[in-house]
Structure 1
């Protein structure tokens, strides 16, 4: 009887490990499924923010100032929620978010991103 008690926690540990391995796999698959083919870049006050997946758009919309929220914000949020459950195409969300950024003059072009617009040998910090 004593020996069976010693081995029981090991069995529980293996079950626990299998559960977490499965949970991480599901999360990884969901993250991959929600990634855009190509990211969007947002002009912020002091930096450029990369938007590469549906979660990034959710975060962006959550941070959007309440006084600026309106129909476009609500529509984007609804489209993101629908895309998260598979009711709306992810590429359509990306395209609509690009329009949202353009309308608000926040869409950054490749030239706005210093390390991507400069050559490989021209990466001086501070433009020196």
Structure 2
């Protein structure tokens, strides 16, 4: 799957959660602009949203999610269970939105998602990760014959 198609898929998923984002943006986080304004991404912009090093977060007992860029972080936070959301989740999501819009450095967003994982007890150190544990992004690009 091409990098731009992967982004388009993530953008589509982001649009599906527009109501959630709207609630955040109209609530106490009104200063955080929405991702809905960004539909087309350039290759250079994609590379600028990459983390220097990935963050590994435990999703299930033996499943670890690799967060390699800002879009992965936002997707992870938007998929977080509604009943488990709290002020830490909201602040982390706001930080990621602000980094997306250029108001904060990408490293700050990486630090925020890492701190979120540590606070929730789901942060996994990189050496402990095995390749078979990492959840592949949807649409791995493989075509069945």
TM-score when normalising by structure 2: 0.59
Q: What is the Cα-based RMSD across aligned positions, in Å?
A: 2.0
Query: Displacement of 1:111 after TM fit?
Result: 3.6
Instruction: Answer whether contact 2:99 2:108 (CA < 8 A) is retained.
Output: no
Provide the residue aligned with 1:9 in structure 2: none
Give the number of the structure whose alpha-carbon radius of gyration is greater. Answer: 1
Instruction: Answer whether contact 2:56 2:67 (CA < 8 A) is retained.
Output: yes
For 2:43 and 2:71, locate their aligned partners in 1 and report how far apart those are by CA, in whole Å.
Answer: 13
Please tell me whether residue 43 in structure 1 is matched to residue 62 in structure 2: no
- Structure 2: gaps of 5 or more residues: 1-39, 133-145
Equivalenced residues, count: 93
Partner SS for 1:88: coil
**Structure number having the greater helix percentage:** 1
TM-score when normalising by structure 1: 0.66
- Structure 1: gaps of 5 or more residues: 1-23, 117-128
